[in-house]
Amino acid sequence: MATDTEGGSVYIFKLHDHVKWWDGTELTAADVAFSLQRMIEPEQPRPRTGLLRPYIQAVEVMDRHTVQVTLHYPSPAFLQFLAVDYMKILPKHRLEAGVDINVWENIVGSGPFKITAARRGDAVTYARNSAYFKQGRPYVDGLTILAITDAGTAAAAVRAGRIQMTTGFTALGVDDLLKLEKELQGKYSLYWQPHVTDVWYVCANVEKAPWHDLRLIKALRLATDQEELQKGIAAGYWHIGAPFPIGSWYGSTREELLTLPGYRIPKDQDIADAKALLKAAGYDPPSKLGKRVLDVLRGSVGPDTAQLWAAQMRRNLGLEIEVRVRDAPTVIHAFTAGDYDLGLAGYGYNIDDPDDWGAIYGPGARNWTRWKHPQFLEMLEQQSRQTDREKRRAILRKMEAFLLTEENPYIQMLWKSWTYLVSDKVRTEAGTFVTPPSLQTVHKNEHLWLEK
């Protein structure tokens, strides 16, 4: 239970009684304070959890079951971020004893399922935690999460009944899922999230030539055919790319975007403008840029999107781009180290709040381009502190206009709605399966069961 005081700048959290770690140790306020302080620890790699850093000023243990969190300023996003599944409370006694929690055998949690086995690239299995503090939950005895990167293999596993539910991030493309839904009608149903929660984008390494001249990436953005990407990759079911989620309370609509450079139909004027921009930068013809390399993560729609975009650059600008598909750890390490030329990646947002986008465009670790524009960063800070929704929206509209018109190192490819193919035997207290609000939330699966 959480209570906010002092206009939303101080939160007091009351823990449930009798919550225990899997090893039988009581979970207390000391664990919560330790974990929150660890999440915001300066100069430490904290993917996702580091999003809490701008907000938390202090964390104090008031008593064994009470924690007080003081913020630097009232924030509309703070509580939402705390609900993200990455914000896990860790066992203080285990970490202080030097236990390496990166080894799955050493993991001690307090959640509904205990991890029992894990093999990288294969599967993770879980067993029901009979001592879970929510009485009666979870409803199933165990879970097995399969890692299948080949679409054909994944489809075969669904047909064979080995898989009752896909996660949002799956090797199955939109066409694959639509075919399976039709083929397995009466046995499986396809669930779409009601709003977009994931953006795929190309980014340029502005610390390396030639991309420090941002006119170049702007030219490539003008020559990108958003409509072709949307129809070719997602069969028309997703949305064209934009800096902010299309149709959100703070983002542009599709109709507004189609009037702007880079989105015009047909593409003739955009392509002409792109070539003129490259010529002004000294690249006439555009092929003078030489052969570029695009690194992309293996999985989901990344490789297909990369190949189609590279084909567009060849057709529209005569530019040769080598697509290099590699595993996620390798690609992310290259991005983090700045050891790349062009990159294509996706970002599934944690919460439906603009503060999340600081992860890409702001000073956070996910801004692999290292692009930092003082005017944009000032607006990013202003909107985060603004609690009046309409005033905040006005700032955000200026921010998106800035990203759409000013030179920056991003090309947004697609906005994606996560999709789940689920057995009709999967039930919840609401009835049928309900899509989580984002890929990063409501994944404890304590609320699901299978009808016989």
pLDDT, tens digit only, all 452 positions of the chain: 556 666 789 999 999 999 999 999 999 999 999 999 999 998 888 878 989 999 999 999 999 999 999 999 999 899 999 999 999 999 999 999 999 988 999 999 999 999 999 998 899 999 999 999 999 999 999 999 999 988 999 999 999 999 999 988 888 988 999 999 999 999 999 999 888 888 999 999 999 999 999 999 999 999 999 999 999 998 888 999 999 998 889 999 999 999 999 999 999 999 999 999 999 999 999 999 999 999 998 877 899 999 999 999 999 999 999 999 998 889 999 999 999 999 999 888 899 899 987 778 988 778 999 899 999 999 999 999 999 999 999 999 999 999 999 999 999 999 988 899 999 999 999 999 999 988 889 889 999 999 98
Question: Which two three-digit tokens encode residue 79?
Answer: 């509580």
Distance (Å, whole) CA 160 – CA 166: 14
Spell out the long-range contacts of 275-281 with Cβ–Cβ below 8 A and sequence spacing 24 or more: 275/219, 275/317, 277/215, 277/216, 277/218, 277/219, 277/222, 278/215, 278/216, 278/219, 278/317, 280/215, 281/213, 281/215, 281/216, 281/219
Q: What angle do CA 359, 362, 366 make, to 5 degrees?
A: 35
Instruction: Please give the single-letter amino acid code of residue 291.
Output: K
The strand ranges marked E within 87-187 are 113-119, 123-128, 142-146
All structural domains of the chain, each given as residue ranges with its CATH number in brackets, are 2-96 (3.90.76.10), 111-193+418-450 (3.40.190.10), 198-416 (3.10.105.10)
- Bin 186: left if φ > 0, else alpha if -120 < ψ < 50, else beta: left
